[in-house]
Structure 1
Amino acid sequence: MKQNNILRVGLTGGIGCGKSTISMIFRENNIPVIDADKISRKVLVNHPNILLEVRRVFGDEYFDENGEFLRRKMGNLIFSDKNKKAQYENIIMPHIFHDIFSEINKYNDIGEEMCIVDAPTLIESKLHTYMDKIIVVIASEEIQLERVMRRDNFSMEEATIRINNQMSTKEKCKFADFIIDNSGNLQETRIKVMKVISKLK
């Protein structure tokens, strides 16, 4: 990774904590956001060899009759089996890292002072070690469950499995330079994010 001057800010938090809302507020303030989830979806198109490796390791059952990758089925597997999750991430993460750093370098080259890297597994994947500052977004477990069930049309059991299979909020917070509690309303969250922006600048 080449040397750059841009301030790299990692943004993470448990599923349903509302990272996308925080990202939206950063964008509203003209701070570029690199969405690791979007990159992870595009990475399968940008690097077709990934799916060949996924099929080799996990089998044909994770592809439909047209050869399309069954993302949700794979998601259910990796969120219920940590060993399978590690196997999948070993295949896909090097490519995601490559594309994230390409985006960082692009913003650095056009003179941006700061960029946000929004990544659910920022810490688990060790991506945080390349960041200058870390923001962890938190919310109560009740709110997390409610948001995940509504957003993804999950049952309470499915949502609970997803939450419990991630690194705990308490553990994530050990790595945080800033913690934003996103349990309240949008206006309250905006005020908290603006305080963080002023400190980052």
Structure 2
Amino acid sequence: MTPNKTIVVGLTGGIGSGKSTISNMLVQKNITVIDADKISREVLSIYPEILLEIEQAFGKEYFYEDGTLNRKKLGAYVFSSKKLKKDLENIIIPYIKREIFDKIKKCKENMEKICIVDAPTLIENNLHYDMDIVVLVVVDKKTQLDRVMRRDLQSEIEVKKRINSQLSIKKKIKFADYIIDNSKDIQFTKTQLDSILTEIYLRGKNEEI
């Protein structure tokens, strides 16, 4: 027998795919979820040097008078260009990865059976190479557009820019071990998730033998 191993699962999907719904389901099952979006906000406080780098790269106009980052304004600007988006990611992603790996390490130290890394740009930023399993959440384009327009109160043109700034689902599928179709009702999504978790736990047991 080998020592218990924590299975690290990457959970990803395009904007508006409903990935956060699945994360909430996992939390309700008492499974640790490492939220990359939450970490991306926290690192600005943990590492103040990030704000200095952003100001130098993009200018003071993307900050409020109190010095905090105007994330919405900066986001609208960088999503207009793949280069600008990459420039911002080059500044902030290394700090996000550092925090993610620290949290994965704690999961392993606590000998948790499974640990989820919820990251919308998991594949774009090569984090999938550090996962044991990748789960991709997909949704049809019309549902995706409608969800984001309604949620973020943005125009169709603005939302399409954000969608197009991400890696296409067709390319993401190549890296996925499991796919969850989140286009239908909540029960359909839950059934798929439960089935995937059962397979992951079985896989973990087999690897211990």
Q: Which residue number corresponds to residue 76 of structure 1?
A: 76
Q: Which residue number corresponds to residue 194 of structure 2?
A: 194
Q: Which residue number corresponds to residue 53 of structure 2?
A: 53
Q: Which residue number corresponds to residue 64 of structure 1?
A: 64
The 2-side partners of 1:122 and 1:166 are apart by 11
1:18-50 deviation digits (Å, cap 9, x = unpaired) = 100111111222211100000001010011100
Equivalent AA in structure 2 for residue 95 of structure 1: Y
Q: Which residue number corresponds to residue 144 of structure 1?
A: 144
Q: Which residue number corresponds to residue 170 of structure 1?
A: 170
Q: Which residue number corresponds to residue 100 of structure 1?
A: 100
SS at 2:101 equivalent: helix
Identity of aligned residues (%): 51
Structure 1 moving runs of 4+ over 2 Å: none
Deviates more, 1:72-81 or 1:117-126: 72-81
Deviates more, 1:104-113 or 1:46-55: 104-113
- RMSD over aligned CA atoms reads 1.1
1:48-78 deviation digits (Å, cap 9, x = unpaired) = 1000010011111111222221101111122
Q: Which residue number corresponds to residue 35 of structure 1?
A: 35
The 2-side partners of 1:68 and 1:46 are apart by 13
SS at 1:137 equivalent: strand
Unmatched runs of 5 consecutive residues or more in structure 2: 202-209
The 2-side partners of 1:83 and 1:170 are apart by 22
SS at 2:179 equivalent: strand
Q: Which residue number corresponds to residue 204 of structure 2?
A: none
- The structure with the larger Rg is 2
Asked if residue 161 in structure 1 is aligned to residue 161 in structure 2, the reply is yes
Relative to the length of structure 2, the TM-score reads 0.92
SS at 1:76 equivalent: helix
Relative to the length of structure 1, the TM-score reads 0.96
Asked if residue 112 in structure 1 is aligned to residue 112 in structure 2, the reply is yes
Aligned positions, number: 198
**CA apart distance, 1:150:** 1.4
Asked if residue 20 in structure 1 is aligned to residue 20 in structure 2, the reply is yes
**CA apart distance, 1:146:** 0.9
Unmatched runs of 5 consecutive residues or more in structure 1: none
Deviates more, 1:9-18 or 1:19-28: 19-28
Q: Which residue number corresponds to residue 206 of structure 2?
A: none
The 1-side partners of 2:167 and 2:85 are apart by 13
1:95-129 deviation digits (Å, cap 9, x = unpaired) = 00000011111111112011110000000001111
